[in-house]
Amino acid sequence: MITVLGSHRGRVVARLVLGHGQDPTVELATRGWQGTVEAVEGVLGDLVLRYAVQPADPVDRPLGPEGPGLSDAERLGVDPRQRVAAYAVVIADGRLLLTQLADHTGAPGRWNLPGGGLDLGESPTDGVVREVAEETGQVVDEVRLVDVMTQHWVGRSARGPEDYHAVRLLHTARCTWPTRPVVHDVGGSTSDAQWVRLDELPSVAVVASVRAALRAVGLA
């Protein structure tokens, strides 16, 4: 379960359980609050997202998820799937740490931020440290939450019909002693890892969420 709390002037003014396909900022906005995420607490299975909010005019909820949708028959055989993952923007010596997606993923050959799905009972901070080590061999600390990004997609993929809700907890993290990246999780979603100069990023084939993450940390 993911609980979203919105606080204004030290008082909780909005409380909701994030349902399948929902975005926390959108759900707060429909209730007349806007703001930014301040903290994530707990572990997978019982996470709390805390937002600092201000009053705003309520907005309408956007129409439907992304994707081509599914037929009525396909929907009967699909279980909605929510995946909570933690990623990190890691910069050292003017270079950004990136991971290349393996051939069996949905975006083979493209580059992503290090990170991945949380294990049950794992905190986002621990998940970032573990995923960065598994995918790149780098040791990070000073993990800080920056943003929560979601995507709800319904359609057919390489895995077949799916109703997929991605909840991505975006962090920054420090790598004091950057080394040559090594992929330790062989056979997983990562085929390669590299430190990429920031001025070379425009020519790198990254997934869309990387651009959004860089905007969230003020780098794009």
3-state secondary structure of 216: helix
**Does 4 score more than 90 pLDDT?**
yes
Torsion from C-alpha of 150, 152, 153, 154, nearest 10 degrees: 170
Domain count, the chain: 2
Cβ atoms of 175 and 97 within 8 Å: the answer is yes
Q: Are residues 112 and 159 in the same domain?
A: yes
Mean pLDDT for the stretch of residues 145-162: 90
In a domain, 15, yes or no: yes
Q: Are residues 110 and 166 in the same domain?
A: yes
In a domain, 184, yes or no: yes
Q: Are residues 154 and 85 in the same domain?
A: yes
Q: 65-102 burial by CB neighbour count: b if 16+ within 10 A, else e?
A: bebeebeeebeeeeeeebebbbbbbbbbeebbbbbbbb
Q: Are residues 186 and 104 in the same domain?
A: yes
Q: What is the pLDDT of residue 159?
A: 78
Cα end-to-end distance, the chain, whole Å: 32
3-state secondary structure of 124: helix
3-state secondary structure of 27: helix
Burial (CB < 10 A; 0-12, 13-18, 19+), residue 4, is: buried
Q: Residue 94: which domain range?
A: 80-216
Q: Which residue has 């997202």 as its token pair? A: 49
In a domain, 203, yes or no: yes
Q: What is the pLDDT of residue 156?
A: 85
Which residues are paired to 57 by β-bridges? none
Q: What is the pLDDT of residue 175?
A: 97
Binned at pLDDT 50, 70 and 90, residue 158 comes out as: confident
Instruction: Please write the tens of the pLDDT for every residue from 27-61.
Output: 999 999 999 999 999 999 999 999 999 999 999 88
Return the percent helix, strand and coil in the chain, to nearest 5.
Answer: 20, 45, 35
Q: Residue 180 maps to which CATH number?
A: 3.90.79.10
- What percentage of the chain has pLDDT greater than the value 90? 80
14 Cβ partners below 8 Å, 6+ apart? 4, 5, 6, 28, 31, 33, 51, 53
Q: Please state, rounded to an integer, the average pLDDT across all residues of the chain.
A: 94
In a domain, 73, yes or no: no
Q: Are residues 209 and 107 in the same domain?
A: yes
Mean pLDDT for the stretch of residues 192-220: 92
In a domain, 121, yes or no: yes
Q: What is the pLDDT of residue 90?
A: 97
Which of 31-45, 104-118, 128-142 bottoms out in mean pLDDT, i.e. has the lowest? 104-118
CA distance 173 to 43: 19
Q: Are residues 102 and 12 in the same domain?
A: no
Binned at pLDDT 50, 70 and 90, residue 148 comes out as: very high
In a domain, 72, yes or no: no
**Does 160 score more than 90 pLDDT?**
no
Give the single-character DSSP code of 202. Answer: G
Instruction: Please write the tens of the pLDDT for every residue from 60-107.
Output: 888 789 888 888 888 888 889 999 999 999 999 999 999 999 988 888
Which of 30-39, 68-77, 119-128, 142-151 bottoms out in mean pLDDT, i.e. has the lowest? 68-77
Binned at pLDDT 50, 70 and 90, residue 15 comes out as: very high
